[in-house]
Amino acid sequence: MSDSTDVLEAKEKAEIPAEAEEAKITEEALAKARAMIGMKLRPEQYLRDASVDTIANFSNGIGDLNPLYRDVEYARWTRFGGLIAHPLFPVIHHWPGRSHWGFRGVHGFAVGNDWEFFRNIRPGDRISVWNRVTDIKEKEGRFSGRMVFQYVESTFTNQRDEVLAKALGWTTRHERSASRDKGKYKKVKTHTYTEDESRAIDEKVLSELSRIRGPETRYFEDVEEGEEIDEVVRGPLSMSDTMGFVAACGRSRTHGVLLREALRHPDHYIRSSESGGGLEYTGIGHHRESFAQQVGVPGMYDYLPQRVCWMGSLLTNWMGDDAVLKRLRVEARRFNIQGDTQFLQGRITKKYVKDDCALVDLDIQAVNQSGTITTPGMGTVILPSKDTSTRIPTDGSVVDLELPLVR
């Protein structure tokens, strides 16, 4: 059977709606979702291959200026002997926690990632992923009342079947009408900055490159618990930022390619009246304010993996080339809408040795221009130590954090 025949059969079975379906969270839907625990999920699979170009382009898309991830000549003189990718590079292939399963007509927001990193990614590597459902939890929240958390573990591997990273991703499912009616964010408006505020943000952003630790080794003995790390700023958020991130991840389906995808999965697409009946994904609220407001969000907003990458850069900027990012946990507790600025901060909470490796735990957070904590999280970094009984931190595989599956 040809691809065209498949598409025509799909068209006969389901038409693409003009508006997103608005359904309820039911006991039947919960039972079906729980029955999927342990099952493998099909990944989205966008880009797979690491090259000099895709590695550098990814850095562009997340606003990362670190030459280790973008400058071939710089990287060849580091301990790596060549370019490596930003630790969050696997998101070019798949965004952990995406909610393309269960709860038809119930909106999904990706709200958390907990990454553990094992190996460096270099040009020539090819990325694959195995996704499996790990848990379903029902909770009550102020945004929409009844909601469901879906947990998925993503294991990223290379062409040698070596584990590059594991990520626990979780998504919340909300009834669209309940989110809208609750109106939690109804009074939130796009922030207007004074000239002094805008100037201070620009100065902080433009000075970031000079504040990257880079080749100056940061030793375990040089840091203390309670010490704060250098702040990183991302914002004010614009559509160029969100679209740039999408482009960096290779997420592009248009025209006939998009139509075929929409006919296969009509629950995830609409024929938008605002674009003359053109096709749009039900997550278009990231780029279209009217749709964002239909699901209770005051305006266009960022992507969770985009914010996760920013928090990763906060730590890689601080730790330097000779350290290793081992763990990164990020939770999106508040929406980051167009015009918001995030001030990324961190503080060392613990120094310890495990598996003969010198480790540092940090509490991290993003605070917006109004002083609200939008994004709490934590990270673990392996630092080189002057104690010769410790291991050299070549990559994340040298230590086992023994993390529980759902955490």
Domains and CATH numbers, the chain: 3-396 (3.10.129.10)
Helix axes 52-62, 239-248, angle to 10 degrees: 160
Q: How far apart are CA 122 and CA 168, in angstroms?
A: 23
Q: How far is CA 159 from CA 70, 129, 185, in A?
A: 22, 11, 45
382, 342 in Cβ contact below 8 A? no
Query: Residue written as tokens 């704060």?
Result: 228
Helix axes 255-264, 3-13, angle to 10 degrees: 50
Q: What is the pLDDT of residue 136?
A: 96
Q: How far apart are CA 349 and CA 219, in angstroms?
A: 16
Least Cα distance to 302 among 222, 235, 384 occurs for 235
Instruction: Convert the pLDDT of each residue in 87-124 to its tens digit.
Output: 999 999 999 987 678 898 888 899 999 999 999 999 99
Q: What is the pLDDT of residue 56?
A: 98
Ordered alpha helix ranges (H), 228-322: 239-248, 255-264, 289-294, 304-319
Q: What is the pLDDT of residue 296?
A: 82
Q: How far is CA 93 from CA 88, 227, 310, in A?
A: 11, 35, 18
Q: Which residues are within 8 A (CB) of 195 and not within 5 positions of it... i.e. 6 or more apart?
A: none
CA angle, 305 then 309 then 130, to 5°: 55
Phi, psi of 297 (to 5 degrees): -105, 135
Q: What is the pLDDT of residue 290?
A: 86
Nearest 10 degrees: Cα torsion 314, 319, 320, 325 = -80
3-state secondary structure of 252: coil
| pTM, to two decimals | 0.94
Q: How far apart are CA 199 and CA 4, in angstroms?
A: 55
41, 133 in Cβ contact below 8 A? yes
315, 77 in Cβ contact below 8 A? no
Separation of CA 360 from chain center: 22
Residue 4: count of CB within 10 angstroms of its CB: 9
Q: How far apart are CA 263 and CA 5, in angstroms?
A: 12
Q: How far apart are CA 129 and CA 97, in angstroms?
A: 12
Q: What is the pLDDT of residue 12?
A: 46
Q: What is the pLDDT of residue 104?
A: 86
pLDDT tens-digit profile, the chain (407 residues):
455 555 555 454 468 988 888 889 999 999 999 999 999 998 888 899 999 999 999 999 999 999 999 999 999 999 999 999 999 999 999 999 876 788 988 888 999 999 999 999 999 999 999 999 999 999 887 776 889 999 999 999 999 999 999 999 999 998 877 666 666 777 788 999 999 999 999 999 999 999 999 999 999 999 999 999 999 999 999 999 999 999 999 988 899 999 998 998 888 899 999 989 999 988 888 998 888 888 888 889 999 999 999 999 999 999 999 999 999 999 999 999 999 999 999 999 999 999 999 999 999 999 999 999 999 999 999 999 999 999 999 999 999 999 999 99
- Give the pair of three-digit tokens for residue 96: 């952990």
Amino acid identity, position 11: K
